[in-house]
Amino acid sequence: MTPVALRWSGDAAGTLELLDQTLLPGRVSWLACRDVPVVIEAIRSLRVRGAPAIGIAGAYGTVLAAAEATRLQLAPAPALAHVQARAAELATARPTAVNLRWAVARCLRALDALPAGAPAAALATTLLATAREIHAEDERLCAAMGRHGAAVLPPGGVLTHCNTGGLATGGVGTALAAITTAWDQGRRFEVFADETRPLLQGARLTAWELVQRGIPVTVLCDGAAAALLATGRVGSCIVGADRIAANGDAANKIGTYGLALVAAAHGIPFFVAAPSSTFDLTLATGAGIPIEERAAAEVLAPLGVPAAPAGARAYNPAFDVTPAHLIRGLITEHGVISPVTAAEILQVLGP
């Protein structure tokens, strides 16, 4: 069973339902979102997370913006302005993942096909159709990435970092899809998941997904990855990404860069899986990727449990950037980009 991160209930006046990932693995609870501020809070608080999933949530959020305008009985011009303003808020709810901005912009472009003076209800109908398209497309892209990723994973154990499965996407996942697809094809190997500190997305979410699917998983502290790779039990590492620059530098959950360095030191191939919507070809290198700085409490009191003395400060970037030269291949819905260069990226993805 592939876990589902989000779903839409009803028509254009319906509800966005999010699986609250902050409560996993102890509790499975769905959050009903009927207005945009609730969606923004859910994105910022990581109730919904993963670049593709928050992009889909942002797309459905624009539908809620139009529904707000309908409830407020706004005339066509103010209704459109309301949707545009809410869309700007949604697009900047988290700064690093480019999928959010991409999905919201695509929804707004869909409104250009409507006649001038279209009422709020018409805006909502068009936005819902577009959001559903984005959601369905991501499901197909995930399946394709799973197939391409499974085909290139070498023999041996597989180590992953953070969460890149159904909880992070609209389908079976990105990096985790390669693992689960290979498993479903009959291959057997050890699966390792970094805890992924400070919020333990690997332990709480990736391990939970794999257990739900009946795939054995071993969880390890992030700091144990180097020792594990030294044993020879790991044949490859595979992670996701929140934004990939034109040259292939990839931003992913904090700790990914260190893992890539260790993998390179041991000659272990390191793969990144992400859909084409995660690529930001306007940025020449990863130096231009904005890195989200999150609250100190996530480090000093992770999951609400004090872990440092009062008065201590925290360094808490949510992401780091792995240079392209450390990445063996970028797994996309169009195939695997290898070697990872700007020219090869354009060759596979197009301009």
Q: Which amino acid is located at 13 in the chain?
A: A
Q: The domain containing residue 36 runs over which residues?
A: 6-140
User: Residues 69, 208: one domain?
Assistant: no
Q: Note whether 143 and 160 are within 8 A (CB).
A: no
Q: How far is CA 172 from CA 3, 221, 321, in A?
A: 8, 25, 24
| Spatial distance between the Cα atoms of 24 and 47, rounded to a whole number of angstroms | 10
Whether 244 maps to a domain, the answer reads: yes
Same domain, 247 and 221: yes
The secondary structure of 224-267, three-state, reads: HHHHHHHCCCEEEEEECCCEEECCCCEEEECCHHHHHHHHHHCC
pLDDT per position as a tens digit, 207-258: 999 999 999 999 999 999 999 999 999 999 999 999 999 999 999 999 999 9
CA distance 168 to 49: 6
The CATH number of whichever domain residue 181 belongs to comes to 3.40.50.10470
Q: Please compute the mean of the pLDDT values over residues 273-299 and round it to a whole number.
A: 97
pLDDT (average), residues 269-294: 97
Per-residue confidence (pLDDT) for residue 2, from 0 to 100: 80
In this prediction, residue 154 carries a pLDDT of: 97
Q: How confident is the model at residue 337 (pLDDT cuts 50, 70, 90)?
A: very high
Both 271 and 159 in one domain: the answer is yes
pLDDT of residue 145: 98
Q: Give the integer Cα–Cα distance in Å for 274 and 146.
A: 10
Both 127 and 199 in a single domain?
no
- The answer, yes or no, to whether residue 341 has pLDDT greater than 80, is yes
Q: Is the pLDDT of residue 33 over 90?
A: yes
State the average pLDDT over residues 62-74. 98
Query: For the chain, what is the domain count?
Result: 2
- Is 75 inside any structural domain? yes
- Asked if residue 238 and residue 198 are part of one domain, the reply reads yes
d(CA 271, CA 273): 7
Q: Is residue 215 part of a domain?
A: yes
Question: Is residue 252 left, alpha or beta, with left meaning phi > 0 and alpha meaning psi from -120 to 50?
Answer: beta
What is the per-residue pLDDT for 9? Answer: 97
Its pTM stands at: 0.95
Q: Are residues 249 and 315 in the same domain?
A: yes
Percent of the chain with pLDDT over 90: 98
Domain boundary among 118, 140, 162: 140
**Which of 221, 338, 332 lies closest to 275, judged by CA?**
332
Same domain, 67 and 93: yes
The Cα–Cα gap between 50 and 209 comes to: 14
Active site members:
242
pLDDT-based confidence at residue 180 (cuts at 50, 70, 90): very high
H or E stretch at 336: strand 335-337
Q: What is the pLDDT of residues 98-149, one digit of tens each?
A: 999 999 999 999 999 999 999 999 999 999 999 999 999 999 999 999 999 9
pLDDT of residue 47: 98
> Same structural domain for residues 98 and 230?
no
- The whole-number pLDDT of residue 1 equals 74
In 3D, which of 46, 42, 41, 31 has the Cα closest to residue 302? 46
Q: Which two tokens stand for residue 271?
A: 């793969």
Q: Are residues 212 and 293 in the same domain?
A: yes
Identity of residue 51: A
34 inside domain? yes
The helix/strand/coil state of 302 is: helix
Residue 1 lies in a domain: no
CATH of the domain at 45: 1.20.120.420
Q: Is residue 87 located within the same domain as residue 198?
A: no
Distance of CA 278 to the CA centre of its chain: 9
Residues 218 and 109 in one domain: no
The edge-to-edge listing of strands for the beta sheet with 234-239 is 218-220, 191-194, 157-160, 234-239, 270-273, 329-332, 335-337
Instruction: Tell which of 81, 110, 140 closes a domain.
Output: 140
191 domain residue, yes or no: yes
Domain stops at, among 120, 140, 160? 140
Question: What pLDDT is stored for residue 254 in this prediction?
Answer: 98
338 and 285, same domain (yes or no): yes
Least confident stretch, 158-167, 209-218, 342-351: 342-351
**Per residue in 85-105, pLDDT tens?**
999 999 999 999 899 999 999
In sequence order, the β-bridge partners of residue 293 are 317
Rounded CA-CA distance 149/272 in Å is 9
Please state the length of the chain. Answer: 351
For residue 327, what pLDDT band results from cuts at 50, 70 and 90?
very high
Contact predicate 100/93, CB 8 Å:
yes
Please give the structure tokens belonging to residue 145.
């990435």
Average pLDDT of the chain, as a whole number = 97
